[in-house]
Structure 1
Amino acid sequence: MTEPHTKKRTCNETRVVQTHRILPSDLNNHETLFGGKLMSFIDNTASISVSRFSRSNAIVTASMDELHFIHPIKSGHSVCVETYITGAGKTSIEVFAKVLGEDLVTGERYIGATSFLTFVVLDRKKNPDFSLPKIAPESTEEKMICEGYQERRQKRLKDKEGNKELVNALSLLPPWISSTKN
């Protein structure tokens, strides 16, 4: 088998599509797909893209960036979550998620949501020589999305530093114990 770092993978080689019928048990109080359920669908689908790209199951979700809910997905519609890799560093991998809704009666399709996720491959801890392949976009959509990878990566790194400051300022006291100390 070819080592991951000696090969490029196309976005299509990492593409995963999961389709689900939206049932009453999937709905929120607005009679649309519950956002947490959609996030679970996205994370699950993206994790398969990451394993296909890295050829590893030693992966963890690091972040879900800018999940945009664009159009509500209703009961009786289908939701199709499509993911593919759009960039990679030494151990981190960016995944794009496109969510399509479909009214199964009329056939109308619409963009329900978009998101970028970042996963980290843990294989480097066991194997310091581990490296990830490069991604090779082919379609117009893939090229446009992959083109923004470095800019999104830099923003994530900056946000990560800001989040460290936030976490350091948070109290570890249980919420039911009030503290007047700063």
Structure 2
Amino acid sequence: MRNKKLCKESKVIQTHRVFPYDLNHHKTLFGGKLMSFIDDTASISAARHGRGEIVTASMDKLDFLHPIYSNHSVCVETFVSGVGSQSMEVFAKVMGEDLDTGERYLAATSFLTFVRVAGYGEGEKLPLVIPQTAEEKMVCSGYEKRKAKRSEDKSFYTEFNQAVSLTTPWMDDE
């Protein structure tokens, strides 16, 4: 029988203060910095769930919902929201907080896919995930639909990526 783990067993929360050097030219948190926070946090969730060597396969969806400003905090909360035999989907919720007023807001949401490194845990399926809270149940309930969409997209992007040129603009096309 396949092992099971609760969502909360993979839950990770990281909080960071946003400083002026973290900002882009719009004076909001640089998107790449936020993506790094999300990937770092989500990778810990995946490692906790799979207890092995894992790598980021994709950031499937990232929606920036609200800008994050200097002197706000950014809190990234992640947990495993679905599993295949060797891959895991991790949900990330990003909350901002104005440290002067205490106002909190949903800044972004994201789904990432992690895979177990070849040769690690070979033949052993990843544990299934069991949601408990209303939010976990809502997020996990959409896993199969998101997985099917990723599979559909993978076919397209495999062909697409083979057609992308490796010629650089400063070289001749010949």
Which letter maps to 1:39? M
Give the corresponding residue for 2:102: 107
Give the corresponding residue for 2:43: 47
Structure 2 residue 20 is the aligned partner of structure 1 residue 24: yes
Deviations 1:134-178 (CA, angstroms, capped at 9, x unpaired): 100000010011000000001001111111111111112223225
The count of residues paired between Structure 1 and Structure 2 equals 174
Gaps of 5+ in 2: none
Q: 2:83 aligns with which of 75, 85, 88?
A: 88
Q: 1:134 aligns with which of 111, 128, 132?
A: 128
Which letter maps to 1:176? W
Which letter maps to 1:158? E
Give the corresponding residue for 1:11: 7
Q: CA deviation at 1:128?
A: 2.7
In 2: Cα distance, 1:175 partner to 1:109 partner? 45
Q: CA deviation at 1:126?
A: 4.4
In 1: Cα distance, 2:120 partner to 2:142 partner? 31
Partner secondary structure for residue 125 of structure 1? coil
Give the corresponding residue for 1:79: 74
Q: State TM-score, norm by structure 1.
A: 0.92
Q: Which moved more, 1:20-29 or 1:125-134?
A: 125-134
Q: CA deviation at 1:65?
A: 1.4
In 2: Cα distance, 1:113 partner to 1:126 partner? 32
Note the aligned Cα RMSD (angstroms). 1.3
Partner secondary structure for residue 123 of structure 2? coil
In 2: Cα distance, 1:155 partner to 1:15 partner? 25
Give the corresponding residue for 1:167: 161
Q: CA deviation at 1:114?
A: 0.3
Q: Which moved more, 1:6-15 or 1:130-139?
A: 6-15
Partner secondary structure for residue 79 of structure 2? strand
Which letter maps to 1:78? S
Deviations 1:59-99 (CA, angstroms, capped at 9, x unpaired): 11111012000000000000000000000001110000000
In 2: Cα distance, 1:92 partner to 1:126 partner? 12
Gaps of 5+ in 1: none
Which letter maps to 1:8? K
Partner secondary structure for residue 119 of structure 2? helix
Structure 2 residue 50 is the aligned partner of structure 1 residue 36: no
| Paired-residue identity, % | 57
Structure 2 residue 54 is the aligned partner of structure 1 residue 63: no
Change (3 A) 1:126 1:71: closer
Partner secondary structure for residue 91 of structure 2? strand
